[in-house]
Amino acid sequence: MDYPFSNKVLALKPNAIREILKSASDPGVMPLSAGNPAPDAFPIEQIKEISACILEENPIGALQYGVSEGYQPLRDTLKKYLKSKLNIGTKEDELIIVSGAQQNMDLAAKTFLNEGDVLICEAPSFVGALNTFRSYNTQLIGVTVEKDGMNMEELEEVLKNNKNAKLIYTIPNFQNPSGVTMSLEKRKKLYELAKKYKVLIIEDNPYGDLRYSGKDVPCIKSFDTDGIVLYSGSFSKVVSPGIRVGYLLANKQAMSKMIICKQGQDVHTTMWSQIICNELLTNYDFEKHLDKLRALYTQKANLCMDLLDEYVVPNGISYNKIEGGLFIWCDLPKDVDMLDFCKKLTERKVCVVPGNAFLTDSSLTCHSFRINFSTPTDEQLRKGIIEIGKLAKEIINR
Amino acid sequence: MDYPFSNKVLALKPNAIREILKSASDPGVMPLSAGNPAPDAFPIEQIKEISACILEENPIGALQYGVSEGYQPLRDTLKKYLKSKLNIGTKEDELIIVSGAQQNMDLAAKTFLNEGDVLICEAPSFVGALNTFRSYNTQLIGVTVEKDGMNMEELEEVLKNNKNAKLIYTIPNFQNPSGVTMSLEKRKKLYELAKKYKVLIIEDNPYGDLRYSGKDVPCIKSFDTDGIVLYSGSFSKVVSPGIRVGYLLANKQAMSKMIICKQGQDVHTTMWSQIICNELLTNYDFEKHLDKLRALYTQKANLCMDLLDEYVVPNGISYNKIEGGLFIWCDLPKDVDMLDFCKKLTERKVCVVPGNAFLTDSSLTCHSFRINFSTPTDEQLRKGIIEIGKLAKEIINR
């Protein structure tokens, strides 16, 4: 049978990173390609305790249908938490619980984009979100990421030339994959431009709590007096991705149709997962847990950068120092074939992600690749980076 | 701000039933409107035991990212289970895990329908699924449900006159809301017609295990030699809706794009929930659990029908006897205003669902309403049905 696929999905291809991750699951391979939290990062003992308590005291609450907007106590907890921690959320805003922050991207695309409409993103940007946008037959336009975030002149050009631009997608903190944090000035400028051109902003902030040095920068949502910022939060990097809990803070009216779409997608998010998150935030010392996480990842991030400085940089590969997040972006000299370099690394059992996977058009030339330090053990990280250095020496620094 | 909603979602309205359910949550109200499993139906002790075991023995497996297609052991278990129990699934088929069967409707609509394309459903049909289809700007055409399922002449007329019909949505067993089971003859005819007109069938079977009398009828999927049936299964009615686990069995090629869309929506289904289901199916006596459920619901269904026969039917309301499922469809005489009748019931603290909510166009006149017997206690059911009888006596049988 010749299946009658819709125009939306006709050109969709499986996520390139997942194919790479398949080879990375071989136990002999150094998995510098994933974005998984470190196994030590999960609050296992707390979750064990909470789960036993839920199923003892409120099993029906965990097993019965819930409402699409989310478990009310968690919604209330998060509203207060976000207000006191990030100073975001107004009376015009609402907060809903979603099945992982990825669902926010899907709901936003579905609610605000017609087929062929433009979504502006960073170049490079998170491939998972880009694929979600693609699945609505969206036209993606990337704006160059500089050391302090998107190039604002380029952004304005794109806005000026694309009247059907509806959304700007940004990861302002420790961006995936570049590791870059957008400066306060650029956040303000981005907000102004979005307002001027009547475009909504999706502020995706999965890594905001994972800062290892430097100072926090205010969220774009914190300037949002016009109801144009959809703030997306996630428990995937700070509690667990397997429980699938994220949240969305946005203007009530903007959100109204998103809630109906959420209901159509999965009725509501897993109750057990939502109750776990609420208990962690209310009856446990969540800041202490975050401190523990930051200590764990600071050590791994520093180890990674030290190893890069020792073995890789002297052989001609440069990278941006990071202040947080889970990813480091490495740049090859322009005369080196990046795809060939990554392929050779795979043959030597080191998996990294070719940078073109993060572009709006992955057939474009790219000289960078992404490495991750949360998934590999310290030993795998060391072996992997030494191997990258060796290959660089053979190919670049002959 | 005037939000630029997409054409897909512009006309979307909140689910009418949910508004009714809000008033049904008042503790003084007889909730005959919902479709929740009975609180006694949950295998609480088993889930408690499995959850403790998972979090003790394999916490990382439950908390780390999983693959979009689903937890492999559950996929393997379900493939074998469906083959042996229902004789469905071929070498050309694949099975994936979704976040509740509702997600199957969303993925099918997204993958196979362009805006304005036709989806054919039963009239009446499950409002949750209809709303999902509506959220892709789909044109819904309903085909009359008779005592043995869709009217096949009407179906062929619709197929003949709508070249852009892409999907037929059916709940062949104990249909929601009508309670009707499609006969084997009609299932075969439906399959033939779908094949002839090159249209896919979504076979939604959430209630198949809840048969209280009569004999099982083969699934439409069991005749599927052409890869045109998307079979949707769910754990919501037989384990728990709050855990959000469903599955889809369909031709690999048809499914390929659906998997990419699933990945874009929520990356994967909650790992804990998937492991719970797999353990229940492999290390527990699942058939015994189903027997317990059937005994529980047989008692409630019979109680409900006995009460209807005693208090309601003599006062001019008729209904279809059911052999399974959770719903009973009641018909008022044609000269009674159904919406007014339901409104008066609500004033008397009895909640039922007005039948027009289940039509493709809810502004059409409808003389029926739906009652559910799994959510209310026996006492609530008795009080509620006696009240329906009283109102019928006042309005109809004066």
* CATH code for the domain of A60: 3.40.640.10
Tell me the C-alpha distance between A195 and A198, whole Å: 5
- pLDDT of residue A18 exceeding 70, the answer is no
**pLDDT class of A4 with cuts at 50, 70, 90:** confident
- Whether B251 maps to a domain, the answer reads yes
Query: With an 8 Å Cβ cutoff, are A112 and B3 in contact?
Result: yes
- Whether B9 maps to a domain, the answer reads no
Query: With an 8 Å Cβ cutoff, are A241 and B64 in contact?
Result: yes
Residues 6+ apart with CB under 8 A from B27: none
B window 227-266, beta carbon within 8 A of A: 227-228, 236, 240-244, 251, 253-254, 257, 259-261, 263-266
Do A292 and A391 sit in the same domain of this protein?
Answer: yes
Do A233 and A203 sit in the same domain of this protein?
Answer: yes
Average pLDDT, chain A: 95
Tell me the C-alpha distance between B146 and B190, whole Å: 14
Do B57 and B128 sit in the same domain of this protein?
Answer: yes
pLDDT digits (tens, 9 = 90+) for B122-159: 999 999 999 999 999 999 999 999 999 999 999 999 99
- Whether B5 maps to a domain, the answer reads no
Q: Which of A282, A309, A344 is the last residue of a domain?
A: A282
Query: With an 8 Å Cβ cutoff, are B265 and A47 in contact?
Result: no
Q: Tell me how many helices (H) and strands (E) chain A has.
A: 13, 14
- pLDDT of residue A19 exceeding 70, the answer is no
Do B105 and B241 sit in the same domain of this protein?
Answer: yes
Tell me the C-alpha distance between A229 and A168, whole Å: 9
Residue in A with minimal Cα distance to B35:
A65
Element housing B166 (H / E): strand B165-170
pLDDT digits (tens, 9 = 90+) for B250-273: 999 999 999 999 999 999 999 999
Specify the residue for token string 């459903």: B121
- pLDDT of residue B23 exceeding 80, the answer is no
Q: Which of A282, A314, A333 is the last residue of a domain?
A: A282
- Whether A110 maps to a domain, the answer reads yes
**pLDDT class of B27 with cuts at 50, 70, 90:** confident
Tell me the C-alpha distance between B234 and B207, whole Å: 9
Determine the distance in angstroms separating the CA of B137 from the nearest CA of chain A, rounded to an integer.
11
- Whether B260 maps to a domain, the answer reads yes
**pLDDT class of B16 with cuts at 50, 70, 90:** low
Tell me the C-alpha distance between B391 and B315, whole Å: 9
Do A146 and A256 sit in the same domain of this protein?
Answer: yes
Buried b / exposed e over B226-249, threshold 16 CB at 10 Å, is ebbbbbbbbbbbbbbbbbbbbbbb
A195–chain B Cβ distance below 8 A for any pair: no
Do A107 and A228 sit in the same domain of this protein?
Answer: yes
Contact between residue B366 and residue B292 where contact means Cβ atoms under 8 Å apart = no
Tell me the C-alpha distance between A322 and A299, whole Å: 13
**pLDDT class of B17 with cuts at 50, 70, 90:** low
Residue A331 phi/psi, 5-degree rounding, is -110, 125
Buried b / exposed e over B316-350, threshold 16 CB at 10 Å, is bbebbebbbbbbbbbbbeeeeebeebbeebbeebb
DSSP B324: B
pLDDT digits (tens, 9 = 90+) for A239-264: 999 999 999 999 999 999 999 999 99
Determine the distance in angstroms separating the CA of B197 from the nearest CA of chain A, rounded to an integer.
12
Do B168 and B33 sit in the same domain of this protein?
Answer: no
Q: Which of A246, A264, A282 is the last residue of a domain?
A: A282
- pLDDT of residue A332 exceeding 70, the answer is yes
DSSP assignments along A155-219, one per residue:
HHHHHHH-TTEEEEEE--SS-TTT-----HHHHHHHHHHHHHTT-EEEEE-SSTT-B-SS-----
pLDDT, position A28? 86
- pLDDT of residue B20 exceeding 70, the answer is no
- Whether B237 maps to a domain, the answer reads yes
Specify the residue for token string 């957008």: A182
Which residues on chain A are in Cβ contact (under 8 Å) with B102?
264-267
How many Cβ atoms are within 10 Å of B367's Cβ, its own excluded? 17
pLDDT, position A27? 78
Query: With an 8 Å Cβ cutoff, are A51 and B51 in contact?
Result: yes
pLDDT-above-90 percentage for chain B: 92
| Mean pLDDT calculated for residue range A295-302 | 98
ipTM: 0.96
Do A381 and A257 sit in the same domain of this protein?
Answer: no
Do A128 and A248 sit in the same domain of this protein?
Answer: yes
* CATH code for the domain of B378: 3.90.1150.10
- pLDDT of residue A20 exceeding 70, the answer is no
* B37, B300, B304, B380 from B377: Cα distances, Å: 11, 9, 11, 5
B8–chain A Cβ distance below 8 A for any pair: yes
Q: Which residues constitute the domain of residue A391?
A: 16-43+288-395
B1–chain A Cβ distance below 8 A for any pair: yes
- Whether B2 maps to a domain, the answer reads no
Which residues on chain A are in Cβ contact (under 8 Å) with B254?
1, 3
Residues 6+ apart with CB under 8 A from B338: B332, B354, B355, B356, B365, B366, B367, B368, B369
Query: With an 8 Å Cβ cutoff, are B63 and A56 in contact?
Result: no
Do B245 and B322 sit in the same domain of this protein?
Answer: no
Query: With an 8 Å Cβ cutoff, are B254 and A65 in contact?
Result: no
A window 330-389, beta carbon within 8 A of B: none
Best of A6, A245, A289 to disrupt the B interface by mutation (most B CBs within 10 Å)?
A: A6
Contact between residue A326 and residue A35 where contact means Cβ atoms under 8 Å apart = yes
Tell me the three state secondary structure of residue B274. Answer: helix
Specify the residue for token string 């429980």: A243
Residue in A with minimal Cα distance to B59:
A44
Specify the residue for token string 């996929």: B75
Domain count, chain B: 2
| Mean pLDDT calculated for residue range A305-329 | 97
Structural tokens at position B105: 């409707």
Query: With an 8 Å Cβ cutoff, are A102 and B267 in contact?
Result: yes
Determine the distance in angstroms separating the CA of B256 from the nearest CA of chain A, rounded to an integer.
9
A window 199-228, beta carbon within 8 A of B: 200, 226-228
Query: With an 8 Å Cβ cutoff, are B47 and A37 in contact?
Result: no
pLDDT, position A66? 94
pLDDT-above-70 percentage for chain A: 97
B53–chain A Cβ distance below 8 A for any pair: no
**pLDDT class of B18 with cuts at 50, 70, 90:** low
Determine the distance in angstroms separating the CA of B334 from the nearest CA of chain A, rounded to an integer.
33
- pLDDT of residue A15 exceeding 90, the answer is no
- pLDDT of residue B359 exceeding 90, the answer is yes
Contact between residue B341 and residue B332 where contact means Cβ atoms under 8 Å apart = yes
Best of B111, B115, B133 to disrupt the A interface by mutation (most A CBs within 10 Å)?
A: B111
- Whether A259 maps to a domain, the answer reads yes
Do B66 and B204 sit in the same domain of this protein?
Answer: yes
pLDDT digits (tens, 9 = 90+) for B291-339: 999 999 999 999 999 999 999 999 999 999 999 999 999 999 999 999 9
Do A163 and A232 sit in the same domain of this protein?
Answer: yes
- pLDDT of residue B279 exceeding 70, the answer is yes
